[in-house]
Amino acid sequence: MIINVDYYPIIDEEYRRYLNMNSDMKDYWLLEQTLYTGMGRRDLIKTLPIPIMGKALDLGSGYGAMAIDMAFSMPIQVYSTDFEEDKVEVAKVIAEQVDRRVNYLKPGEIFFKKANIYELDFEDNTFDFVISRFLFQHLKDPAKAFSEIYRVLKPGGIVCTIDVDESFAFSYPETPAYEALYAAFKKMQEMNGGDRQIGRKLPTMLRENNFVDIYTQVDMQSGYEYTATGDIAHRFIRERFLAARNEIVEKSIMSADEFDQWIEKFNEEVELWQFTASGQVVAFARKMN
């Protein structure tokens, strides 16, 4: 399918505008990350096997970046869902603002719906394609989530899950404050039932949930860059750590003082040349015909 990339800059402009006007919003880091990781997301979109006029579902869509990119670049119907209502609302606002400018979408080409992956309010055999990006790392019961995806996919439909595996993340020279804060963040996610090694487990889980034709790839990004104070990459990692501060302290993973000291050191760890690499596992699979 030919992908129409004309509206990507306008989508980015609308996200940026929303960010600038809502600097105190919840999960600000996620929206910043959405903008920062646009190239990788759009590279993946080019490879998605969605039939023309097909029905696609994005689960754990966050602020809707994947769903909005798909709806404005392909002749398909997209459902953008997340279990947090405020995120679904922001995604809807962004899509409306973009469409007001480009007047591209036909009625019913994008829907926004609050949905928990464990209890999807969709009929069996509804979708040609289901995607979920960076959601499974948060789930306590990924097997149940895959069985819901299986149920709502049409026979022959395709699922695509993209997620982290920490083994594909490394850097040199090492940065001790980042390492300490990352370890605390990872512990918090584990205590919530999440898993930062989920990437390697996705193919096995897909097979155990009756999917066939499992295909995997690892998307790696790397760079050798000078990080200066205030750089966006440094800032959004910092925002993400700060957003987790209360929970890390409440769960006694670190004391508040210890956390704040590491954040201060993290601020000083900039002004260096560093090689960084990180990768995500992309797993495709098909529901049997």
Span from 68-76, 113-121, 233-241, 264-272 in contact with ligand SAM (CB under 6 A): 113-121
Does residue number 234 form part of the binding site for ligand SAM (CB under 6 A)? no
**Closest Cα partner for 151 from 287, 7, 15?**
287
Is the alpha carbon torsion for 29, 34, 38, 42 positive or negative? positive
Give the separation between CA 92 and CA 145, rounded to whole angstroms: 24
Count CA within 13 A, CB hemisphere, residue 224: 2
Q: Under the criterion CB under 6 A, does residue 138 sit at the interface with ligand SAM?
A: yes
Query: Does 80 sit near ligand SAM (CB under 6 A)?
Result: no
Contacts of 121 (CB under 8 A, 6+ apart): 113, 115
Span from 18-26, 101-109, 133-141, 150-158 in contact with ligand SAM (CB under 6 A): 133-141
* Sequence-ordered list of residues with C-beta below 8 angstroms from that of 86, at least 6 positions apart, any chain: 26
CB of 145 to ligand SAM, least distance (A): 7
Q: Which of 82, 128, 163, 269 binds ligand SAM (CB under 6 A)?
A: 82
Q: How far apart are CA 108 and CA 35, in angstroms?
A: 26
User: Which residue, 70 or 248, has its beta carbon nearer to ligand SAM?
Assistant: 70
CB of 85 vs ligand SAM, minimal distance in Å: 10
Q: Say whether residue 60 binds ligand SAM (CB under 6 A).
A: yes
Binding site for ligand SAM (CB under 6 A): 30, 34, 59-62, 65-66, 82-84, 87, 116-118, 133-135, 138
